[in-house]
Amino acid sequence: MQIVFKQEYLSSLYYNQTADKKHRFQPEVVKKYIKVINILKNASRVEDLFPFNSLNYEKLSGDKEGIETVRVNDKYRLEFQTERMESEVIVTICNIFELSKHYQ
Protein backbone atom coordinates (compact mmCIF):
# COMPACT_ATOMS: atom_id res chain seq x y z
CA MET A 1 0.00 0.00 0.00
CA GLN A 2 1.13 3.53 -0.69
CA ILE A 3 1.06 5.89 2.31
CA VAL A 4 -0.04 9.54 2.07
CA PHE A 5 -0.20 11.87 5.06
CA LYS A 6 -3.16 14.25 5.27
CA GLN A 7 -1.41 16.60 7.70
CA GLU A 8 2.23 17.67 7.95
CA TYR A 9 2.68 16.67 11.61
CA LEU A 10 1.75 13.06 10.77
CA SER A 11 4.51 12.95 8.17
CA SER A 12 6.96 14.57 10.60
CA LEU A 13 6.22 11.94 13.22
CA TYR A 14 6.90 9.16 10.74
CA TYR A 15 10.15 10.59 9.44
CA ASN A 16 11.45 11.29 12.98
CA GLN A 17 11.45 15.01 12.55
CA THR A 18 10.55 17.21 15.47
CA ALA A 19 6.84 17.86 15.52
CA ASP A 20 5.43 21.17 16.67
CA LYS A 21 4.58 21.64 20.35
CA LYS A 22 0.90 20.86 19.78
CA HIS A 23 1.63 17.43 18.30
CA ARG A 24 4.32 16.00 20.56
CA PHE A 25 4.07 12.41 21.68
CA GLN A 26 6.07 10.20 23.99
CA PRO A 27 8.99 8.40 22.25
CA GLU A 28 7.39 4.97 22.73
CA VAL A 29 4.16 6.20 21.06
CA VAL A 30 6.17 7.56 18.10
CA LYS A 31 8.05 4.25 17.82
CA LYS A 32 4.78 2.27 17.70
CA TYR A 33 3.28 4.81 15.26
CA ILE A 34 6.20 4.21 12.89
CA LYS A 35 5.80 0.44 13.30
CA VAL A 36 2.07 0.62 12.46
CA ILE A 37 2.73 2.80 9.40
CA ASN A 38 5.33 0.25 8.23
CA ILE A 39 2.79 -2.57 8.64
CA LEU A 40 0.30 -0.58 6.55
CA LYS A 41 3.00 0.13 3.97
CA ASN A 42 3.93 -3.56 3.63
CA ALA A 43 0.34 -4.77 3.31
CA SER A 44 -0.94 -5.22 -0.21
CA ARG A 45 -4.61 -4.98 0.82
CA VAL A 46 -6.64 -4.18 3.94
CA GLU A 47 -7.32 -7.85 4.62
CA ASP A 48 -3.58 -8.31 5.29
CA LEU A 49 -4.09 -6.35 8.53
CA PHE A 50 -6.55 -8.88 10.00
CA PRO A 51 -3.91 -11.33 11.33
CA PHE A 52 -2.40 -8.54 13.47
CA ASN A 53 -4.73 -8.83 16.47
CA SER A 54 -2.94 -6.02 18.31
CA LEU A 55 -3.99 -3.55 15.60
CA ASN A 56 -7.72 -4.07 16.30
CA TYR A 57 -8.63 -2.99 12.77
CA GLU A 58 -12.05 -1.35 12.64
CA LYS A 59 -14.11 0.27 9.90
CA LEU A 60 -16.10 3.17 11.35
CA SER A 61 -19.71 4.08 10.64
CA GLY A 62 -22.04 6.98 11.33
CA ASP A 63 -20.49 10.43 11.11
CA LYS A 64 -17.07 8.84 10.52
CA GLU A 65 -18.17 6.53 7.71
CA GLY A 66 -15.34 5.84 5.27
CA ILE A 67 -12.67 6.05 7.97
CA GLU A 68 -10.80 3.00 9.24
CA THR A 69 -8.76 2.74 12.43
CA VAL A 70 -6.03 0.64 13.97
CA ARG A 71 -4.50 0.82 17.41
CA VAL A 72 -1.04 2.28 17.83
CA ASN A 73 -0.97 1.07 21.44
CA ASP A 74 -3.53 0.71 24.24
CA LYS A 75 -3.99 4.52 24.46
CA TYR A 76 -3.77 5.74 20.86
CA ARG A 77 -5.57 4.98 17.59
CA LEU A 78 -4.70 5.89 14.03
CA GLU A 79 -7.43 6.98 11.61
CA PHE A 80 -6.95 6.45 7.89
CA GLN A 81 -8.83 6.14 4.62
CA THR A 82 -8.14 3.67 1.84
CA GLU A 83 -8.69 4.15 -1.85
CA ARG A 84 -8.01 1.70 -4.67
CA MET A 85 -6.20 3.19 -7.66
CA GLU A 86 -5.89 0.57 -10.40
CA SER A 87 -3.85 -2.22 -8.81
CA GLU A 88 -2.58 -0.22 -5.82
CA VAL A 89 -4.22 0.76 -2.52
CA ILE A 90 -3.53 4.29 -1.31
CA VAL A 91 -3.75 4.83 2.44
CA THR A 92 -4.28 8.40 3.63
CA ILE A 93 -3.27 8.81 7.26
CA CYS A 94 -5.80 11.26 8.74
CA ASN A 95 -5.24 11.48 12.49
CA ILE A 96 -3.69 9.96 15.60
CA PHE A 97 -5.68 10.46 18.77
CA GLU A 98 -5.69 9.50 22.41
CA LEU A 99 -8.58 7.21 23.27
CA SER A 100 -9.28 8.73 26.71
CA LYS A 101 -9.81 12.18 25.15
CA HIS A 102 -11.89 10.74 22.32
CA TYR A 103 -14.47 9.13 24.59
CA GLN A 104 -14.95 12.10 26.97
Tell which residue, 2, 18, 3, 7, has the closest CA to residue 97: 7
97 has pLDDT over 60 = yes
Phi, then psi, of 45 in degrees rounded to 5: -155, 165
Alpha carbons 48 and 73: distance in angstroms, whole number: 19
Predicted TM-score (pTM) of this structure: 0.85
* Residue 20 DSSP one-character state: P
Residue 4, CB-side half-sphere exposure with 13 Å CA sphere? 9
pLDDT digits (tens, 9 = 90+) for 26-78: 889 889 999 999 999 998 888 888 988 889 999 988 888 889 999 999 899 99
Q: Which domains does the chain show, CATH number per domain?
A: 2-102 (3.30.2310.20)
104 has pLDDT over 60 = no
